[in-house]
Structure 1
Amino acid sequence: MSYDASNFGVVTGSSALATVVLLTITAIIGFRIGRHNVVDVTWGLGFVLIALVCALVGEGSAWRRWLLFVLVAIWGLRLALSMARRSAGKGEDPRYEKMLYDAGGNRTLVAIRKIYLTQGLALWFVSLPIQVSAAAGGTLNWLACVGIAVWVLGVVFESVGDKQMDEFKSDPANKGAVMDRGLWGWTRHPNYFGDSCVWWGIYLIVAGYWPGALTIASPIVMTYFLVFATGARLLEQHMEQRPGYAEYRQRVSYFLPRPPKKQNSTS
């Protein structure tokens, strides 16, 4: 088997349906509790659900369908648990509050359109490499091995960065301070960089099996969201007034990791 276009139709249709059901449930919960940041928990779970649908419905190479499910499940479940733990007992995420305030108009309709509908479309589109791969054949090749390595790099960056941030925040002496240690001294957003690597790794795993290479727009869109849309950019806007953050921005790379500049640098 090389590629079964009809099976892809079944896979992508099933993935879209699963996404609609999940986001509808999420929206109901979000409106009921008055916090739309519940969608952050659904973000990771949504990819796990789609990967599971692809593994079950797809008729392509079984080893790759289930490998992708395992990789996505490891990443997505860890992310969902982390988001659930961080948001427990807290109010709305300032990013969503600002988004709804800036948009104006009916907040319910704005939330449906700009949060839930946008996230649903993003889930489906970013997961296209997994969907296409589910209907494709092929044996393990070197590009897939590179993809696995990139995925590992991403998971390490994200999980270690989150752990370092959690430990930093757990110390009362750090209240109001800027985290600039560990991976956070090499990039201001190690978790978002890790996310990007995860999805570029998944893309590389499927890129060597036609027509997987054509789904390159998916990791590009994911990286755009992480860097410019709902990820790093909004977080930077929220943090820019914090004392010491301007100096931190001068020393530490925005996204791609690199050694920090010296504190007395004027560049």
Structure 2
Amino acid sequence: MAFLTTLLKLTSNPLSPFLSNLLPAVLASYSVQLLFGIPSIATAKETFYDLAGGFSFLLTLSSSLFLPALRRDAPISLDDALSTWNWRQLALTGAAAVWTLRLSSYLFLRVLQKGHDSRFDVVKHQPRRFFIFWMMQALWALVCLTPIIAVNCIHPAAFKAGLGVPEVLPSDILGFGLFGAGLVIEVVADYQKGRWYGEKVRKVHDELFITRGLWGRCRFPNYSGEITVWTGIAIASAGVLSRGPIQASLGWHGTSGQLKAVILPGIAPAFVSWLLLRVSGVPLSERKYDKLYGNREDYQRWRRNTPLLVPKVF
């Protein structure tokens, strides 16, 4: 408890509830990556990379939900806490937690099954570059969760004053609907690829690359699902943060407040899209596949005729 008291004092900013909630999140995310990253870099092992990413997300989510209640001197029993949180705070935090648990466990089990992660075959032997990968993962967690960090620090009274009736907004329906759709796409895509790989190992087929199911509709349906997930969370968050009384409770005013309500949520899907399309997702995968299958006509035909992200409907 003494640690929590000290943490709250050191990160408290009376003029900005958002910054007061963001600073512990930064500490949580980077601490997890250093805890897992330092021994992993020293031993040139990538085994726990994705598991550490999951812990960063979960610890950041937990701190962003519970610490504002502690700052308000609210009782910390579960029943009392539930009575102070708005349903969106629980729904957004829960949605991100479900996505995190599913993806981090899937990736962790995959690296255990294969014995290595091809993303790190070279970089894990370069300590400085490998360190950057771990720090980027901490940043990834923070940027993705920034909209939720902002929503979770809203005072209960501001929700009552800012939402009115009906409490369910169009942005809630659209945002959570997109989240659900994106999660389904991502889960199905990963399941189909995992099943295909398992059949390949058992020599059920001799296909060199997957073109089945969603992978025949677009080249990276898993990335399409992930971008959709964070777009949904951004929309649901922005619908709340754009309300005047809620902005006032956060110390946001005028045009700058409206810009923050749009930009802060929008950073998450924009950053995820940039990572997947320009940095670690599509570029790494396509370089690998082009090297292996670039001289095959069937691969070139699949790549030429199959959209990158948006699945074909027909």
Q: Any stretches of 5+ residues in structure 1 without a counterpart?
A: 102-106, 261-267
Q: What residue ranges of structure 2 are gaps of 5+ in the alignment?
A: 1-13, 70-83, 242-259
Question: Which residue of the partner structure matches residue 210 of structure 2?
Answer: 179
Q: 1:20 aligns with which of 11, 20, 30?
A: 30
Q: 2:123·2:129 contact (CA, 8 Å) conserved in 1?
A: no
Q: Relative to 1, partners in 2 of residues 1:99 and 1:175: Cα closer, same or farther, differing over 3 Å?
A: farther
CA contact (8 A) 2:33 2:53 kept: no
Is residue 125 of structure 1 aligned with residue 143 of structure 2? yes
Paired position in structure 1 for 2:180: 152
Pair 1:236 & 2:289 matched: no
Q: Look up the match of 1:212.
A: 261
**Which segment drifts farther, 155-164 or 171-180?**
171-180
- For residues 99-146 of structure 1, the C-alpha deviation after alignment (integer angstroms, 9 at most, x for no partner) is 568xxxxx2122112x01122122212221111112234343110211
Identity percentage over the alignment?
Answer: 23
Q: How does 1:186-265 map to 2 (within 5 A)?
A: 186-210=217-241, 211-215=260-264, 216-240=266-290, 241-242=292-293, 243=296, 244-259=298-313
SS of residue paired to 1:88: helix
The answer as to whether partners of 2:65 and 2:153 remain within 8 angstroms in 1 is: no
Shift of 1:75: 0.6
Q: Matches of 2:169 and 2:68 in 1, distance apart?
A: 20
Distance 1:91 1:85 in 2: 10
Whether 2:106 is the aligned partner of 1:111: answer: no
TM-score (norm. length: structure 2) = 0.73
1:165 to 167, 170, 193: 193
Aligned partners of 1:45 and 1:186: how far apart in 2?
A: 33
- Which aligned pairs between 1:14-93 and structure 2 lie closer than 5 A? 14-31=24-41, 33-36=43-46, 38-58=48-68, 62-93=86-117
Q: Secondary structure at the match of 2:279?
A: coil
> Shift of the alpha carbon at 1:28?
3.0
Task: For 1:207, give the aligned amino acid.
Answer: A
Moved more, 126-135 or 199-208: 126-135
- Counterpart of 1:213, as a letter, is V
Shift of 1:83: 0.5
Q: CA RMSD in A?
A: 2.2
Q: Whole-Å Cα distance in 2 between the matches of residues 256 and 33 of structure 1?
A: 40
Q: Give the superposition deviation at 1:176.
A: 4.8
User: Which amino acid is 1:227 matched to?
Assistant: L
Number of equivalenced pairs: 251
TM-score, structure 1 length as denominator? 0.85
Structure 1 residues 163-172 or 34-43, which shifts more? 34-43
Q: Which stretch shifts more, 67-76 or 130-139?
A: 130-139
Q: Secondary structure at 1:257's aligned position in 2?
A: coil
